[in-house]
Structure 1
């Protein structure tokens, strides 16, 4: 009789714990970032930094078919980004632009985390853990890139309005 836990089961449980901790860290960071001045740099840097994750596909075990990658990107960009876009609002406060926190934003992030965990288990039964990680990375990148582009557009619009208001005062 083997009293040690099954290594595959422990890996799975570890993956869930890491995902939950990562999700909670993102929630914490989002809570701190809201209602504080934001800049174009703060909007652009996260997806640029995240894009380095595509280096994982150098490792053959993580590679997936192009059709899967495009589908994951589309799901992230369309389905997962939409609730984030709807619950993120930039506003001008004096000379600064701030991200106003919606009460629904945290619930949306929690729901997305839950959906991701549930989908992860389903997908992981069909393909390898490394491929599942790659697929969900692409999904997350699609979500974050589209959300940040939306924020960037809103930021630039508010920035132009601020310039116009300054000109009108002078």
Structure 2
């Protein structure tokens, strides 16, 4: 996508998009958590998660509408792709780290079988 000149963004626009993505990821991180059921780790459903995703979508649509008046559509598309990437990657990393903690806790809680 970024090999095509219309989609290229400046370093400043890239920084803006990543920063907004990181801010949006905070909501996803705060509303995502794991639980242990029957010695298995599951992602706990959050009732707010769907509303947050819809809210983020609405914010992105409004921002795209406002910014399209001043930023080229191709460049804006590139920025929003970077924003999404900047939102998903930190969320997934946070979920992985949280999963590792739960996994360590689960392993330490599982009783070891004796050799009897």
| TM-score, normalising length: structure 1 | 0.64
- Distance in 2 between residues matched to 1:96 and 1:62, nearest whole Å: 44
- Distance in 2 between residues matched to 1:58 and 1:92, nearest whole Å: 45
- Distance in 1 between residues matched to 2:65 and 2:15, nearest whole Å: 20
| TM-score, normalising length: structure 2 | 0.92
Counterpart residue number, 2:41: 97
**1:85 is aligned to 2:29:** yes
**1:130 is aligned to 2:74:** yes
Which has more helix, going by share of residues?
1
Secondary structure (helix, strand or coil) at the match of 1:99 reads: strand
Show structure 1 runs of 5+ residues with no match: 1-55
- Distance in 1 between residues matched to 2:40 and 2:70, nearest whole Å: 48
Q: Which has the higher contact order (CA 8 A, sep 6+)?
A: 2
Counterpart residue number, 1:68: 13
Moved over 6 A (4+): none
- Distance in 2 between residues matched to 1:155 and 1:93, nearest whole Å: 14
Secondary structure (helix, strand or coil) at the match of 2:2 reads: helix
**1:153 is aligned to 2:97:** yes
- After superposition, the CA RMSD in angstroms is 0.9
Show structure 2 runs of 5+ residues with no match: none
**Count of residues in Structure 1 that have an aligned counterpart in Structure 2:** 112
Counterpart residue number, 2:83: 139
